Amino acid sequence: MYYYYYLVSYIYFLTEAYFKNYKMKKLIILITTLNIFTSTFCQTKISKEAKLKAQIIALEKAGWEAWKDKNASWFQNNTTEDCLWVSSDGINNKAQMIKSTSTDCNVKSVLLDNFQFVKLNDKTVLLTYIANQDGYCGNNKLKNKVRASVNYVNRGGKWLEAFYMETPIGE
């Protein structure tokens, strides 16, 4: 009789252990799958946003170099038709900016730093940074340090500058 009791107990133990292990295996597989999916999805999203940030920063740096080098074609090719630039000198549209780029300023150096990037939606981004500049526009010395904000929009698969604004930082 005791033999029967031990046999039934042993079978019950094995069955329970099997089902617990089976459930545990399923749970482990589920958790592992979710971890892999989540980490892959998040890394893809982060890496896409990091690539976009790097692309926009490169565009903005190229714009400053174009301004320094008096290369008006950059502004013709990389800004929207209704782009506006706002500074302490006033508001300029695209035509005014292109005209003044080749004549108004003599810039020795520009250094952009402290970038902050916000993706507003799939077609609009905001970039803020600090620009250190050395040069003159006409007879006026440029402000050494400005905080700049710029919006880029994606039109036809190309990122274009749509709005730029700068504020002098007190020295």
The CATH number covering residue 138 comes to 3.10.450.50
Q: Report the distance separating Cα 151 and Cα 32, nearest Å.
A: 40
**Above pLDDT 70, what percent of the chain?**
73
Q: Does the global pTM surpass 0.75?
A: no
Confidence of residue 41 (pLDDT cuts 50, 70, 90): low
Confidence of residue 27 (pLDDT cuts 50, 70, 90): very low
Cβ atoms 97, 70 nearer than 8 A: no
User: Which of these, 90, 148, 139, 138, lies nearest to 117 by C-alpha position?
Assistant: 148
What is the pLDDT at residue 88?
A: 81
Question: pLDDT averaged over the chain?
Answer: 82
What is the pLDDT at residue 29?
A: 57
| Residue 102, domain extent | 2-168
Q: Report the distance separating Cα 43 and Cα 29, nearest Å.
A: 21
Taking only the tens place, the pLDDT of each residue in 145-170 is 999 999 999 999 999 999 999 999 98
Q: Which of 25-34, 38-47, 74-83, 102-111 has the highest mean pLDDT?
A: 74-83
Q: Please enumerate in sequence order all residues whose Cβ is within 8 A of that of 41, keeping only pairs 6 or more positions apart, or say none.
A: none
What is the pLDDT at residue 61?
A: 97
Q: Which of 95-104, 133-142, 145-154 has the lowest mean pLDDT?
A: 95-104
Residue with tokens 């929207």: 80
What is the pLDDT at residue 93?
A: 92
In three-state secondary structure terms, 169 is coil
32 vs 107, residue with greater confidence: 107
What is the pLDDT at residue 103?
A: 74
What is the pLDDT at residue 165?
A: 96
Domain count, the chain: 1
Confidence of residue 20 (pLDDT cuts 50, 70, 90): low
In three-state secondary structure terms, 82 is strand
In three-state secondary structure terms, 160 is strand
